[in-house]
Amino acid sequence: MSYNTTETIQRLWSQFLRDQLAAMPAEERKQYEQQLEDRFGELLKNAADGSGSPDSFLDLIGFGGKGPVPFENVSYPYIQPDFDDSVVPSQLHAAAELYYIYQHERMKVFQVIQVLQRLFREGRMRIQRGPGARGLYLLEKWKPLRYTLRDRMVAYRRAFNYGNAQAPAGSVVNANFHRQFVGFMVAVAQYFRDLLIGEVIRGGPLIEQRPFGSIGTVQRIGLDLRYALDRSTYGNILALTIETGHYLNSVLQLLDTPDIKKAFDANTKWDVIEIVSNRYLGGIGEISQRAKMAESGRRILQFVADNDFKTALDPILFQSELRPMGSHAEAWIAAYRMTPEGRSFRGVTPALQSIVGAQSAMA
pLDDT tens track for 41-59: 676 666 665 444 555 655 6
Q: CA distances (Å), 222 to each of 92, 226, 283, 323, 345, in order? A: 12, 6, 36, 15, 20
Give the whole-angstrom CA distance, residue 170 versus residue 325: 35
pLDDT tens track for 56-82: 655 666 656 566 667 666 666 666 666
Give the whole-angstrom CA distance, residue 62 versus residue 69: 6
**pTM, to two decimals:** 0.83
Residues 192, 326 contacting (CB under 8 angstroms): yes
∠ CA 268-273-275, nearest 5°, is 95
Query: Which are the contacts of 120, defined by CB distance < 8 A and separation ≥ 6?
Result: 127, 133, 136, 137, 140
Check residue 192 and give its pLDDT: 87
Crossing angle of helices 237-255 and 109-122, rounded to 10°: 60
Check residue 14 and give its pLDDT: 72
pLDDT tens track for 272-328: 999 999 999 999 999 999 999 999 999 999 999 998 888 767 777 788 889 999 999
Lowest model confidence (mean pLDDT) among 159-163, 185-189, 353-357? 353-357
Lowest model confidence (mean pLDDT) among 5-19, 80-94, 334-348? 5-19
Lowest model confidence (mean pLDDT) among 13-22, 77-86, 145-154, 276-285? 77-86
pLDDT tens track for 90-140: 999 999 999 999 999 999 999 999 999 999 999 999 998 899 999 999 999
Within 10 angstroms of residue 334's Cβ, the number of other Cβ atoms is 15
What is the DSSP secondary structure assignment for residue 329, as one 8-state letter? Answer: H
CA 273 vs. chain centroid, Å, equals 29
Give the whole-angstrom CA distance, residue 307 versus residue 303: 6
